Amino acid sequence: MILFEFEGKKILSDAGILVPNSQLVTSADEAITLNFPVVLKAQVLSGKRADAGGILFAENASDAKEKISELLNKTINKEEVKQVLIEEKADIKKEFYVSLSYDTIFRQPVLTFSKSGGTGIEERKSEIIPVNPLDPFEGLTTPFDESFLKKFIDIFLKSDAVLIEINPIVITESGDWIALDAKVNLDDTALGRHPDWKEYPPRSVAGYNPTPHEIEAKKIDEGDYRGTAGSTYFDFDGDIAILASGGGASITAMDALLSVGGKAANFTEYSGNPPREKVEKLTKIVLDKPDLHGLWIVGALANFTDIFETLSGIVDALGKIDPKPKYPIVIRRAGPRDVEAFDMLKNVHDLDLHIYGEETSIPESAEIITKLAKEYAKTVS
């Protein structure tokens, strides 16, 4: 989960790291309570903001009003600017770059720093030092103030962050270390340890605002760790609704559907043996889309997912939709209690069900749902 700069700076400030005096505005008409001159910073999740004209300077209130209005009418890297962070301009003596992230090669946090910060940091020389979580200062030699560095490492280890980057971190003429920027990426899977994270709307990709369905689907698993349902959900513009099970199988299914010309209305999965009520909630979200021409319920041979339980949740949701879906529903499932599940489905008479077990491959079922959906589309066009 990527945070905006002002959100990341609050995390730093709460940990005792100095940040500039600031004010967040959503309108050019808001009175500025800071001392001039100020820096005006468009709040977007993507990088290269300065290169796109997202950082401006103002010497007085009228100048600031004009430039805030300019920023709020900008689109930067496909992101509409809706908030501007105003900060008092710092008295900079020297700029540096510093970040902490997890490295898959070292399999531990790494500290990256450069003795020059600001734009174009990718082209400058930097040093990378592995950080031992049990003894963070072991072998660390950096140009940074020890107090700042201790707070920086401590907040990274305690906040379940994937990345904390400050570019630049500066030392002022008075000797203070101040974070002039903050890029913070949090590990979504740690939500259970951080109830305060719920104030952040889901956002994992810069330049993309999640749809209402995507936001609602992610709520299904909150506080309920009995399997997963909806934690992974993306809306697409196709006409075949998808309820897939299992990580690898769900990706295989999407590839198979695309290869035969099927158009997915969404991507989601349920796995880890979720209870029927969670699958019911996910099904309602998946089917709450207009112009659907088919539903594909698909998964590989399950090891421990209760097929009867999860398909019952789907049937529960279908039974509450008014009017009942008339489009074809293709089911390709196999695993524990699948015989009971198929017997249950045979007694459902008000839906156009097409039931297949492991004798039918995922690609074959992809062909079936694609063919049936196209035929159904012709009847309603």
Q: In the chain, what are the domains? A: 21-88 (3.30.1490.20), 92-190 (3.30.470.20), 210-380 (3.40.50.261)
Is 17 buried (19+), middle (13-18) or exposed (0-12) by CB count in 10 A?
buried
The number of angstroms, rounded, from the C-alpha of 208 to the middle of its chain's C-alpha atoms is 9
DSSP 2: B
- Which pLDDT value is given to residue 199? 73
- Which pLDDT value is given to residue 205? 55
Q: Which tokens hold the place of 99?
A: 């970040």
The string over 269-284, giving b where at least 16 C-beta atoms fall within 10 Å of a residue's C-beta and e elsewhere, is bbbbbbbbbbbbbbbb
Residue type at position 335: G
- Which pLDDT value is given to residue 318? 96
Q: Which residues contact 180 (CB under 8 A, 6 or more apart)?
A: 19, 20, 87, 90, 166, 168, 169, 170
User: Rounded to the nearest 10 degrees, what angle do helices 276-286 and 307-320 cross at?
Assistant: 50
- Which pLDDT value is given to residue 71? 97
Q: For residues 37 and 58, give the distance between their C-alpha atoms in angstroms, rounded to a whole number.
A: 6
Q: For residues 285 and 241, give the distance between their C-alpha atoms in angstroms, rounded to a whole number.
A: 10
Which residues of the chain carry a pLDDT beneath 50?
none
pTM: 0.67
- Which pLDDT value is given to residue 201? 65
Q: For residues 272 and 229, give the distance between their C-alpha atoms in angstroms, rounded to a whole number.
A: 9
Q: For residues 256 and 84, give the distance between their C-alpha atoms in angstroms, rounded to a whole number.
A: 44
Is there a contact between 126 and 112 (Cβ–Cβ < 8 Å)? yes
Q: For residues 43 and 222, give the distance between their C-alpha atoms in angstroms, rounded to a whole number.
A: 28
Q: For residues 91 and 80, give the distance between their C-alpha atoms in angstroms, rounded to a whole number.
A: 31
For 313: left if phi > 0, alpha if psi spans -120 to 50, otherwise beta; the answer is alpha
Q: Return the closest-CA partner of residue 153 out of 167, 172, 166.
A: 166
